[in-house]
C-alpha cells in the first residue's frame, strides 16, 4: 500500500502544519502502509516568523525545499507524480496551504486551486482511489470536483457556509470524527480546525488514514 502525501512548506502559518503532517505519516506507517511525500517546486506565497507570528517581507522560500524538512529529504516534485504507483492521496492542512496550494487565505470565496493540485486530486478520484483532506484542505473540494461532495471542515459557520455556497454538502464533525463520501472515496477531518492540542488532532487524523487505507 503506497500513499502519496502533498506538503506545501514547513510550518502552520506559511506551509503545511507540522503536527498534522507528521501525524499523517505516522498513521500511515501504523496502518502498515508506505508513504511518499510530494510538494510543488515553486516559491511559497510568503514567509512567516513562527515565533513572533509575523510575515517576513524580505525572504523567499521554495515549497519543495522547505517540505523536505518534514520529509527528512525524501520528497519529490508533485509535477512529476505517477499516480499508477500509488493507492491513495492525502493532503494535510495548515494556514500556509490556504496560500500555497490554493489562495483562499488571500482571496476568500473567489479563491482558485493550483492546477497541479487540482489535476492530481481529480486523477486519483477518476480511477476510484481515495483522497484524504485534513483541516483547512477540504475547502478546496468544491473548487476541485464538479460533483456535490460530502465533506467537513468541522463546525465553523463561516467556512461551512462558504463550501455549501460553492456546491459541497457539509457535514458537521467533532475533532475526533471523519466525514466519508463513499461514492467518490473522499475523506475529511477537522484536525486543527477544532483540535486544542496534538493529541486531539491525532485522533481524527489516524481515523482518516485508516479509512483511506480501507477504501484503497
- Residues labelled as active-site residues: 135
Q: Cα–Cα distance between 90 and 152 in angstroms, integer?
A: 15
DSSP 3-state assignment of 155?
A: coil
DSSP 3-state assignment of 94?
A: coil
Burial letters 21-41, b for 16+ CB under 10 A, else e = bbbbbebbeebebebebbbbb
Q: Cα–Cα distance between 213 and 216 in angstroms, integer?
A: 5
CA-nearest of 133, 144, 146, 140 to 173 is 133
Distance of CA 42 to the CA centre of its chain: 17
Burial letters 155-180, b for 16+ CB under 10 A, else e = eeeebbebbeeeebbbbebebbbbbb
Amino acid at each position: 500500500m503506497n500513499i502519496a502525501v502533498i506538503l506545501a512548506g514547513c510550518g502552520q502559518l506559511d506551509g503545511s502544519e507540522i503536527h498534522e503532517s507528521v501525524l499523517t505519516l505516522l498513521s500511515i506507517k501504523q496502518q502498515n502502509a508506505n508513504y511518499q511525500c510530494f510538494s510543488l517546486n515553486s516559491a511559497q506565497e510568503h514567509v512567516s516568523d513562527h515565533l513572533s507570528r509575523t510575515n517576513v517581507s524580505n525572504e523567499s522560500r521554495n515549497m519543495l525545499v522547505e517540505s523536505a524538512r518534514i520529509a527528512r529529504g525524501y520528497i519529490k516534485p508533485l509535477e512529476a507524480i505517477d499516480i499508477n504507483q500509488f493507492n491513495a492521496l492525502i493532503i494535510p492542512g495548515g494556514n500556509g496551504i490556504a496560500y500555497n496550494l490554493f489562495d483562499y487565505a488571500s482571496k476568500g470565496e473567489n479563491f482558485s486551486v493550483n492546477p497541479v493540485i487540482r489535476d492530481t486530486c481529480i486523477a486519483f478520484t477518476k480511477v476510484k482511489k481515495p483522497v484524504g483532506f485534513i483541516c483547512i484542505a477540504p475547502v478546496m473540494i468544491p473548487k476541485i470536483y464538479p460533483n456535490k461532495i460530502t465533506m467537513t471542515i468541522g463546525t465553523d459557520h463561516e467556512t461551512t457556509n462558504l463550501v455549501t455556497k460553492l456546491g459541497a454538502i457539509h457535514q458537521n464533525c467533532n475533532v475526533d470524527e471523519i466525514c466519508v463520501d463513499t461514492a467518490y472515496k473522499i475523506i475529511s477531518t477537522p484536525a486543527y480546525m477544532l483540535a486544542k492540542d496534538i493529541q486531539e488532532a491525532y485522533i481524527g487524523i489516524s481515523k482518516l488514514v485508516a479509512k483511506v487505507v480501507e477504501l484503497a
